[in-house]
Structure 1
Amino acid sequence: MNFEHLVQVNDPLNPLAETLTRTQLWEGLVLRAEQPQLFVLGLDSCTILSRTADTLERELHYGHATVRDRVTLIPHETVRYDILATESYVGGTLTMTIEQPDALQLFLRFEYATTLPTPDTEDDRQTSEIVKSAYREADIDTVRLIREYARHPKQPDPLH
């Protein structure tokens, strides 16, 4: 299953909306990569197994389930998560790309490519729509949490 959508970060038509800089958005995406338990419901812990200038190898612990992934960072542009499939977890990729069409607008594009099959029955299509909706809500929440972090960057656990 492939799925993508755009979350508007800055809305120049809404003067009440708090704006983020590209740097603040990027710092929030890095925080999400390094401390995903602040962003991902049900994630108990994350162990960073290795780190280079632009990659993280991680082990994510959800109760008794463990998922491994590789995070690739292209500074101030893109974060890509490559998730290894297991017997109990769907593998695939998630790419988050910062888009800034002009000085006032800022967006975050989320692109999912999973090993879930393309739905061919009505039940499968409904399940696919539920998964897409959950992804969309989690991504909107990611932007909300990044705003919280930007508002309180010095706190040790700024999102709680």
Structure 2
Amino acid sequence: MVNSRDIKRFSELEVTADFQVGSDYIAYNDYKWAEAFVGAKRARTMMNLRSFFNLGVNASLSGNWNVHDINPLVGIENSLMMESTGLPTVEDAIDSYTINAAKSLGISDLTGSIEVGKAADFVVLSHDITQSEIESIAQTEVWMTLVAGRIVFDIDVSD
């Protein structure tokens, strides 16, 4: 939980804000569960991705296994379901798992986006999640995963 006055400092100090949004309660219950612990006002701003995004903070999404679902597609869906506190677009959510995470690790010159000269780290999905209904993103299948251009997962040859 970050005090709203400190959010701008993340950008000024070039600090990444990392969020784990893999649990359905984050997206669907809008933090009602936390009100008894931190109060209604704090609960509403507890995971305010949009505030960080609007102030230009490098924000990444990640998993907190085994507390939350490790599947990034669940995190992408949930980050978009959070209404006014979530990310504005699916592209922003994808960036939060890819290029923004690479920036936070100091390796955005090597990976995090598909560009000439970077590692060929990417997944092949069953359909284009940028054209999907938000509520169906988590059901998307990963057909193939490549790391540094090498196939490390292929749905057609896995058990």
Q: TM-score, normalised by structure 1?
A: 0.31
Quick check: which one's strand share is greater? 1
Structure whose residues are more often helix by fraction: 2
Between the two structures, name the one with larger relative contact order (CA 8 Å, sep ≥ 6): 1
